[in-house]
Amino acid sequence: MTDSSSIVHLHRVLRAPAERVYKAFLDADALCRWLPPYGFLGKIDRFDARVGGSYHMTFTNFENGHSHSFESKFVDLVPHQRIRVADKFDDPGWAADMTKTITLRTVSCGTELEILHEGLPEFIPAEMCYLGWQESLIQLAHLVEHEMPRDTETPA
């Protein structure tokens, strides 16, 4: 049984279609832009967006240069509806069986997003994980909540 202190549950509504939000979770460049919390840079050195595939990412603290890396394996992908990943830190001292389940649902004003992050290791307080996710989701909103002008044909 999972201890409730090792679970973070987040809920947001984004003014963007589910297709765009889903894409932001499955595009390496997009993840590097929005996933690292404030003060961190993200780098992905390997990315395979399919069930059974994974990506390897490093977060580097911009101020002091310290970094940590992790592997995220895609366990379940239902286009525009659900993403489930299993995460593992590279550092063996940070061992934990973490999973993230991202659920997307189309609503009248965009996409309802629910994230269930389970299995946090003891050294990561739930409130710190929650704070990091809040920062990441603000950056996600900045990425996906936009309306680009439609391409129009130039009159001949």
- Interval 70-118: pLDDT, tens: 999 999 999 999 999 999 999 988 888 899 999 999 999 999 999 999 9
Secondary structure class of 15 (helix, strand, coil):
coil
Residue 28 one-letter amino acid: A
The pLDDT mean for the chain works out to 92
Report pLDDT for 1.
41
Residue 155: Cβ-neighbour burial (10 angstroms; 0-12, 13-18, 19+): exposed
Q: Which residue has the higher pLDDT, 50 or 123?
A: 50
Residues 32, 100, 137, 127, CA torsion sign:
negative
What is 4-144's CATH topology?
Answer: Alpha-D-Glucose-1,6-Bisphosphate; Chain A, domain 4 (3.30.530)
- For 122, the token pair is 């003891």
CA distance 55 to 44: 7
pTM of this structure: 0.89
